[in-house]
Amino acid sequence: MQKLWSSKSKRSQPLPPEDEDTSSPETEGLESEDTTSAEGSLKYFSKLLKKPWSWQISLSWLFLAVGVGGVAIATILGLQYLTAPDAASDSDLACKSKISGDWQTPFGKVTLQEASENLVSGKYEYANFERGKITGEFTGKLSNNVVTFDWTETPNQQAKQQGKGILVFGEGCKEFYGSYGTGESTNNFGNWQGSRLTK
């Protein structure tokens, strides 16, 4: 192709006539090259890389790409929707008149008793090497599936201890997880869990 501006003169140059062949010898070599041998393929691709890249995408490839992308997005969203846990209804979390009875914990058996006005009391006993036999009790208030309580323990060999705690009952009120603490904290002393003992 001819230059339209020369470095010596700022006057425009005429365009080449349309009937002239404007292809370069390099592109002609690409079309006529034999690519059946490994050496021919290497020469072909090395010349192809020198040629400017053209972005000609057929309509069918465009539809294929959009279709595959759409299917992938629909699959991801569908899996998120299908595997999302259902929110538990308030009726499943309301544990009123469902928690009285015996519960098994790592410390041993705990007996819970519901009273009026959503009040809950509990009693337990366990043995500790340093403190001996310990008798504990707590009283608290039930709200849906959560009991907040104050506890006291009376060991045989040491002074009485007291604190606060919380129990959170799982769906169906058949198990609980919780923590307890000394002073005003509900979690600086330890954690516990329990499951209902079957009769």
Kindly state the DSSP code that residue 172 receives in the 8-state scheme: T
- CATH number (3.90.175, 2.40.128, 2.60.40, 1.10.1040) of 94-196 reads 2.40.128
Cα(160)–Cα(121) distance, integer angstroms:
18
Q: Region 153-180: what's the mean pLDDT?
A: 88
Q: Region 17-40: what's the mean pLDDT?
A: 55
Q: Above 90 in pLDDT, residue 140? A: yes
User: Model pTM?
Assistant: 0.53
Which of the residue ranges 26-40, 60-74, 95-109 would you say has the lowest mean pLDDT?
26-40
Q: Region 70-83: what's the mean pLDDT?
A: 70
> pLDDT band for position 30 (50/70/90)?
very low
The pLDDT tens digits of the residues spanning 99-108 come to 899 999 988 8
Q: Is the model more confident about 174 or about 36? A: 174
Give the chain's mean pLDDT. 76
The answer for residues whose C-beta is within 8 angstroms of residue 177's C-beta and 6 or more apart is 167, 168, 170, 191, 192, 193
Q: Above 70 in pLDDT, residue 130? A: yes
Ordered by start, the domain boundaries in the chain are 23-50, 94-196
Q: Is the model more confident about 75 or about 170? A: 170
Element (H, E) at 66: helix 59-83
Q: Region 99-122: what's the mean pLDDT?
A: 90
